[in-house]
């Protein structure tokens, strides 16, 4: 194994890059903007330039670079070929072929970004020491990544880990961004909890600090819950129930060892984790009740770590 590797996490706004030692130590991280003009055709050459410059800056020669790992916001086929990334303007893009040509580095690995983050958290984050890890990212939506036996499960159609689109309530009338109705994401994301809070405030007459706030956010719901605001506590419990039931479904399918909870909402900490666990334990099959819940530890660097980990096996 060579001494260094690059991890690249391509997002719709910025590209996060990490120079790591292959033993797992992060040397340096930085970001460059995502140029989405001309169907994102400059993105890979911008990255190649950034990598080559960083090598020169640090006097790192090609013989010291194990390879470059990528996390991308779209489905990845075999051999690292990306099958469309709407956020980047990409159609089918053969990252390994293009990057090898642009950088002279042969070993290129590519994974979906949610899966790369799950792999990163397994390696150096909340799932460290375990091989069967499910990562759940609670942000604007609900994302997920599945790692079994230390390897990403991509799914037949690239849709493994789409935990946010499990039907949670078949009776839902509003539509999810995916076109379905009643997806977990409509209840358990940042936008989901605000949606549920507004719905509850309309139907419930009780006093709550949430009423009359200029703009309601997930953070305000959790903060109010920590102050024992009854409406906020019920909203937190409802969110924990949605996630707890959904993750009990996950256990009935693949029975993971650890669930790592990340994304912006995970900043709420134990009040969220405890609520998820309470409902999970009620609904999980008995053998799976010992699964552990951990908060994500790598923040927005999880994808970089996972991208590098792709190169190590």
Tell me if 286 contacts a second copy by CB under 8 A: yes
CA distance 232 to 93: 45
**Residue among 303, 259, 302, 253 at smallest CA distance from 280:** 259
Residue 18 vs 164, nearer CB to a second copy: 164
Tell me if 249 contacts a second copy by CB under 8 A: yes
CA distance 145 to 131: 13
Binding mask 124-163 for a second copy (x = CB under 8 A): --------x-------------x-x----xxxxxxxxxxx
Min. distance of Cβ 105 from a second copy in angstroms?
Answer: 27
**Residue among 275, 301, 282 at smallest CA distance from 126:** 301
**Total number of residues that touch a second copy (CB under 8 A):** 42
CA distance 179 to 49: 39
Residue 99 vs 245, nearer CB to a second copy: 245
Residue 5 vs 116, nearer CB to a second copy: 116
Q: Is the dihedral of CA 122, 128, 131, 137 positive or negative?
A: negative
Q: CA angle at residue 127 from 122 to 131, to 5 degrees?
A: 60
Min. distance of Cβ 184 from a second copy in angstroms?
Answer: 8
Figure out which of the listed residues 91, 177, 287, 299 binds a second copy, where binding follows CB under 8 A.
287
Residue 155, CB-side half-sphere exposure with 13 Å CA sphere: 17
Min. distance of Cβ 65 from a second copy in angstroms?
Answer: 29
Q: Near a second copy by CB under 8 A, which window of 58-66, 101-109, 165-173, 210-218?
A: 165-173
Query: In whole angstroms, how far apart are CA 259 and each of 85, 203, 209, 273?
Result: 27, 34, 32, 10
Tell me if 77 contacts a second copy by CB under 8 A: no
Residue 3 vs 249, nearer CB to a second copy: 249
Q: Near a second copy by CB under 8 A, which window of 64-72, 97-105, 247-255, 268-276?
A: 247-255
Burial of 124 (0-12, 13-18, 19+ CB in 10 A): buried
Q: Which helix (H) or strand (E) holds 264?
A: none
CB within 8 A of 295, min separation 6: which ones? Answer: 126, 260, 261, 262, 266, 269, 273
Residue 50 vs 153, nearer CB to a second copy: 153
Binding mask 168-187 for a second copy (x = CB under 8 A): --x-------xxx-------
Instruction: Name the site residues for a second copy (rule: CB under 8 A).
Output: 75, 132, 146, 148, 153-163, 165-167, 170, 178-180, 245-246, 248-257, 282-283, 285-288, 290-291
């Amino acid at each position: 194994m060579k001494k260094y590797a690059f991890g690249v996490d391509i997002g719709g706004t910025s590209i996060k890059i990490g120079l790591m030692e292959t033993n797992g130590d992060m040397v340096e991280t930085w970001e460059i903007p995502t140029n989405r003009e001309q169907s994102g055709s400059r993105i890979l050459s911008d990255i190649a330039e950034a990598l080559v410059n960083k090598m020169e800056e640090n006097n790192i020669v090609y013989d010291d670079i194990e390879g470059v790992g990528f996390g991308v916001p779209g489905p990845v086929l075999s051999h690292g070929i990306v099958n469309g990334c709407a956020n980047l303007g990409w159609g089918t893009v053969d990252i390994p072929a293009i990057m090898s040509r642009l950088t002279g580095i042969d070993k290129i690995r590519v994974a979906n970004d949610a899966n790369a983050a799950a792999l990163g958290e397994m390696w150096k984050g909340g799932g460290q020491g375990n091989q069967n890890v499910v990562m759940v990212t609670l942000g604007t939506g609900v994302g997920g990544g599945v790692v079994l036996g230390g390897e990403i499960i991509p799914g037949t159609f690239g849709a493994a880990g789409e935990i946010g689109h499990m039907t949670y309530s078949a009776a839902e009338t509003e539509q999810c961004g995916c076109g379905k109705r009643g997806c977990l994401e409509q209840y358990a994301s940042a936008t989901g909890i605000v949606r549920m809070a507004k719905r509850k405030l309309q139907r419930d007459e009780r006093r709550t600090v949430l009423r009359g706030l200029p703009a309601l956010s997930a953070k305000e719901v959790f903060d109010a819950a920590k102050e024992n605001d009854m409406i906020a506590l019920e909203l937190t419990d409802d969110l924990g129930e949605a996630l707890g039931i959904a993750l009990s479904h996950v256990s009935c399918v693949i029975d993971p060892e650890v669930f790592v909870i990340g994304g912006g909402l995970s900043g709420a900490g134990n009040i969220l984790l405890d609520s998820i666990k309470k409902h999970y334990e009620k609904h999980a099959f008995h053998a799976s009740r010992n699964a552990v819940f951990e908060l994500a530890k790598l923040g927005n660097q999880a994808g970089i770590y996972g991208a590098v980990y792709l190169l190590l096996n």
